[in-house]
Amino acid sequence: MKDNAKILKGILLTIIIVPIIIIALWYIWLLYEGSKLDNYTFTEEMKNELMVVANIHENTSFNPIAIQFNDVAGPGYYSNYELKFEISKEDFENNKLSYSENEVYNSLTDSSMHEEKDKDMYTCYIKCTKPVNEEKYIILEKVYREQRNIPLETNVTEQSVDTTNTEINISEEDNINAPPTTQELIDEFDKSAEKLDSNYFVTDFETYKSKDSNMKLSNKQISEIAEKGFEESAKRIAGEGASNKETEKIVLEEIVPNNYFTRKYRESDTNYPELKMKAYVVTRENEMGCGIKIYIDPTSTLIIGGDAYGD
């Protein structure tokens, strides 16, 4: 009996221990793979090129951490390269960098952000899309591909690493083979931004002012207003990311209005911190965790911006 008990005990311990060992090994492998992705080497030449992207001219502390490619809404649309780097607060000020605070960092196109790493350093992020800033986009693409030994799709024939003057020449053949973004599509995008329904959207943030008191709205009314934003976002900006109404959430929180709906194709993302306010934030997500946020001013019931998140 005692032998049988020992055997049974051994079997039970094996059943418990083996899965734990497998999970531990799997976790260690994930950490190892992740560390390989994040630890690409930046040569001095790369650092000089990236300083151009970051608008850094005076530097003693610039330290690039990683470059990531984000394919937000399909090739050639909002696809962007994102540079993450560290810099001292002193160098940040000396270079007169004007990156946004982290709470207003836009998830789609050209934008920049800084956040405090410690009492002496900032961690910064810069995103570049090709239609908005082709020059910086190509620099990030070049460094990203060189690190990973990926052949360049574009033919970079000349590039100066002078932080005040960078020239990048692309052959005519490469332009022909670039992702299809025709002028007709760009014009259509811009016209849609110009023709936003002013009964639902703020179309001129330069002259816009909130009213003195909040309107009394039911969740149904808020949802109906937000629906206009979700439809516009799906049609023109972030694709089908918010069709599932069952995931809808409505909260009142402090936000910074932005030009998510009013920006033209070649314009950068713009936030309006002078209009910072409490607003209804209506969120929907798809099954992959990607979502769209619609901002509604409770004093005017107008849509004052939005956001898209997830890959």
What is the pLDDT, as a whole number, of residue 37? Answer: 43
Region for residue 305 given its phi and psi (left: phi exceeds 0; alpha: psi -120 to 50; beta: otherwise): left
Residue 309: the pLDDT is: 76
pLDDT confidence of residue 75: 47
The pLDDT, as a whole number, for residue 5 is: 62
Beta bridge partners of 122: 87, 116
* pLDDT of the residue at 311: 52
Question: Which pLDDT score is estimated for 92?
Answer: 92
CA distance 159 to 217: 56
What torsion do the CA atoms of 203, 208, 211, 215 make, to the nearest 10 degrees? 20
The pLDDT value recorded for residue 40 is 76
In the chain (311 residues long), the average pLDDT of successive 10-residue segments reads 61 70 64 51 90 86 89 59 92 86 60 88 88 84 87 46 38 37 71 90 92 87 93 77 79 93 83 92 83 92 88 52
pTM given for the model: 0.48
- Those residues whose C-beta lies under 8 Å from the C-beta of residue 275, and which sit 6 or more positions away, are 205, 208, 210, 256, 257, 304
Asked if 74 contacts 239 with a C-beta cutoff of 8 angstroms, the reply is yes
